[in-house]
Amino acid sequence: MNPDSKNFLKQLVETPSPSGYEHHVQKLVRDRIAPWCDSVRTDVMGNVSGVRNPDGKPRVMLAGHCDQIGFIVNYITDDGFLHVDPIGGVDPVVATSQRALIMTRGGMVPGVIGRKAIHLMDEDDRKKVPKMHDLYVDIGVSKKEEALELVAYGDAGVFLQPYVELAHGRAVSMA
């Protein structure tokens, strides 16, 4: 893969886009395909279409989704922890201890997904598979009021996994 394409791929997969909040990645795609298309449009559902040589044969379509799993803030505790509901198929076991980004009006707010510390759990709790309601997002504050200065109820978030190149030209990332 050439460096320009690799850079675009990195931008694409590192742009937060939980389901229902894909506008940033849609703009990235529109801007990328525009130089090669006769027309580019986005419909009311957020589908980005680029057309080149509309009367040409054969007709070829490249399709893909641009959303990813994530979460939405639904409650903030008195000590500033965010409780969240899943957007998509979130596995609470995998989510635990992941870094996170919350998309707010003021920008991105980093955090980490946590749950009750293992040394505070009893024997039965240690054997249970965690549920989403057992998890919280720690954004580094200690009061609800401080959290509300940074995030709002209904803000969406994603799990932060940076683009990493693996062996044999492969890569892994959050999206």
| Distance (Å, whole) CA 74 – CA 150 | 14
pTM: 0.85
CB 154 within 8 A of CB 73: yes
Cα–Cα distance for residue pair 157/88, rounded to 1 Å = 12
Peptide bond into 92 cis (omega under 30): no
Rounded CA separation 174/164 (Å): 10
pLDDT at 175 over 80: no
**Mean local confidence (pLDDT), 29-46:** 93
| Residue extents of the structural domains in the chain | 3-66, 70-159
Mean pLDDT of 53-70: 89
pLDDT tens digits along 100-140:
999 999 999 999 999 988 899 999 988 899 999 999 999 99
CATH T-level fold of 70-159: Elongation Factor Tu (Ef-tu); domain 3 (2.40.30)
Tell me the two tokens of residue 152.
Answer: 């709002």
pLDDT grade for 52, boundaries at 50, 70 and 90 = very high
pLDDT above 90 for 40: yes
Position 21, amino acid: Y
